[in-house]
């Protein structure tokens, strides 16, 4: 009896995963290759898949199997964990009408499809009604899941189990108290010379350089691919099919390198999932903040370090003659100096989390009803001036710069800040276990980095809650102090004085 139920449960989970992966493939196609006129029909396809996944996840069969397997837990630890994960999904979704999920999936696709043209035209008003409805759907979905009084916590809990608005408020209060004065102090200092980064960098050379770097850090091109899209993105279909996108700017090749490393960090995580997790809902990252920790670790903690550019700058020189006179140290200082920009993706590390705080505070105000969607661009610009000292010149530099809200990633931005915090804690633990870590990076050797991450993080997928994974790997609970210390120490080195 037990084995039959376990087999039925595994088959049901596998079908749900197959539907999910089909949806992800269709999403990738929409962002990379879909003809513009196909959006409405693609919305119907995505709505069907959402409806079908919901029906299976909350079916009578699923309920009966969960009750049976909870009464007689499987011996297999993966299956036991999958039962708990499926129970959490069942309890969250059983109050959500399938028609609502289907309608939302259709609307979400149409909103994301409308975003690139609106950004290109600096025309927020053209998508404002779509965005307002996007938030309304999210509020309705959170209420169906039991979070009517606190929709933001309900949405955060989707990205990392147990995350709450109150806890995030405490984290951001700590970060704001440290980072606003840090950025203010750096603004008063002479900025590092950026001339070593100036030049014209042809797109094809950038693509070749990014591919070389991604190969070195461990991205498996046999199980992944790189394309181009309006916003860098990673699609996690399966550990054998992980797709990333990049964007290239001919006046600044470091943006393509940074986004390739960021998305590569996500992708290497998913490529490193344990094969025994295939076909289960555990074949994913432990949480979105944990996923972001891997992206920010590779992009910033390694990819913005001096040892990294001591290795990577000679690779870039082979393709870009404009870099022939740049020394690694001068290049590193120019790359990492305070760069106050209205654009998150153009920001430096010190100001980056202030971009995240800005978005989080706007989300809170929108859900609390203290800010209207008509007022959103102005409020965005005011907070940008207050926190960063710069104001967007248009909607494309402001409220339209990110695809996330228009893609349904609402109640999500705190994941980036948590990712920064986790990444710094992982770095401390990795340096303890690999004392010559940055000597290896200087030589372009990333095998120890990949091996440590795979052993301590990647292979587990969602077998452990994210914060247990963090504690097991580092011995610590989430601690923003590590991140703050990292930034202060780094900027003291860059500017040559204590900050």
Query: Residue 453: which of 214, 220, 293 has the closest Cα?
Result: 293
Cα(133)–Cα(139) distance, integer angstroms: 10
3-state helix, strand, coil in the chain (%, to 5): 70, 5, 30
Beta bridge partners of 236: 242
Instruction: Tell me the chain's radius of gyration from C-alpha atoms.
Output: 23
Diameter over CA atoms, the chain: 73
Q: How far is CA 204 from the centre of its chain?
A: 26
Cα(408)–Cα(397) distance, integer angstroms: 20
Place of tokens 């700017």: 249
Query: Residue 105: which of 29, 48, 22, 41 has the closest Cα?
Result: 48
Cα(438)–Cα(446) distance, integer angstroms: 10
Do 161 and 287 contact (CB within 8 A), yes or no? yes
Q: Is 245 helix (H, G, I), strand (E, B) or coil?
A: strand
Q: Given the residues 17, 263, 310, 361, select the one marked as catalytic.
A: 263
Cα(183)–Cα(350) distance, integer angstroms: 6
Query: Residue 39: which of 107, 104, 99 has the closest Cα?
Result: 107
349 belongs to the catalytic site: no
Q: Which positions are catalytic? A: 263
């Amino acid at each position: 009896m037990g084995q039959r139920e376990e087999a039925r449960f595994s088959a049901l989970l596998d079908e749900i995963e197959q539907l999910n992966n089909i949806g992800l493939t269709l999403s990738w196609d929409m962002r990379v290759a879909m003809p513009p006129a196909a959006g409405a029909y693609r919305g119907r396809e995505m709505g069907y898949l959402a409806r079908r996944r919901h029906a299976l996840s909350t079916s009578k069969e699923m309920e009966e199997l969960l009750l049976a397997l909870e009464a007689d837990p499987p011996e297999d630890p993966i299956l036991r964990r999958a039962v708990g994960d499926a129970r959490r999904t069942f309890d969250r979704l059983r109050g959500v009408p399938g028609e609502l999920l289907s309608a939302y999936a259709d609307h979400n696709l149409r909103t994301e499809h409308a975003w690139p043209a609106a950004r290109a035209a600096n025309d927020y008003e053209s998508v404002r009604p779509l965005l307002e409805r996007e938030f309304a759907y999210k509020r309705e979905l959170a209420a169906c899941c039991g979070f009517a009084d606190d929709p933001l916590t309900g949405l955060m809990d989707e990205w990392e189990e147990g995350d709450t608005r109150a806890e995030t408020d405490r984290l951001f209060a700590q970060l704001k108290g440290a980072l606003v004065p840090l950025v203010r102090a750096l603004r008063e200092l002479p900025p590092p010379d950026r001339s070593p980064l100036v030049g014209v960098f042809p797109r094809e050379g950038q693509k070749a350089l990014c591919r070389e770097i991604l190969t070195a850090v461990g991205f498996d091109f046999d199980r992944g691919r790189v394309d181009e899209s309006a916003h860098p993105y990673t699609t996690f279909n399966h550990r054998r099919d992980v797709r990333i996108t990049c964007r290239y700017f001919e006046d600044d090749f470091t943006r393509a390198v940074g986004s390739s490393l960021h998305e590569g960090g996500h992708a290497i995580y998913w490529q490193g999932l344990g094969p025994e997790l295939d076909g289960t809902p555990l074949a994913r990252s432990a949480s979105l903040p944990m996923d972001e920790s891997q992206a920010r670790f590779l992009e910033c903690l390694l990819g913005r370090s001096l040892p990294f550019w001591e290795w990577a700058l000679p690779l870039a020189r082979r393709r870009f003659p404009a870099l022939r006179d740049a020394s690694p140290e001068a290049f590193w200082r120019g790359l990492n100096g305070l760069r106050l920009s209205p654009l998150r993706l153009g920001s430096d590390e010190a100001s980056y989390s202030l971009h995240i705080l800005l978005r989080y505070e706007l989300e809170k105000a929108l859900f609390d009803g203290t800010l209207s969607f008509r007022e959103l661009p102005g409020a965005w610009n005011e907070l940008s001036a207050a926190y960063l000292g710069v104001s967007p010149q248009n909607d494309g530099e402001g409220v339209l710069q990110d695809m996330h809200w228009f893609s349904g990633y609402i109640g999500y931005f705190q994941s980036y800040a948590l990712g920064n915090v986790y990444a710094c804690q992982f770095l401390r633990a990795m340096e303890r276990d690999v004392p010559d870590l940055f000597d290896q990076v200087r030589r372009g050797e990333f095998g120890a980095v990949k091996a440590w991450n795979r052993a301590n993080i990647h292979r587990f997928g969602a077998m452990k809650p994210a914060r247990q994974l963090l504690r097991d790997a580092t011995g610590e609970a989430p601690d923003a102090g590590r991140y703050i210390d990292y930034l202060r120490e780094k900027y003291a080195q860059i500017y040559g004085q204590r900050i």
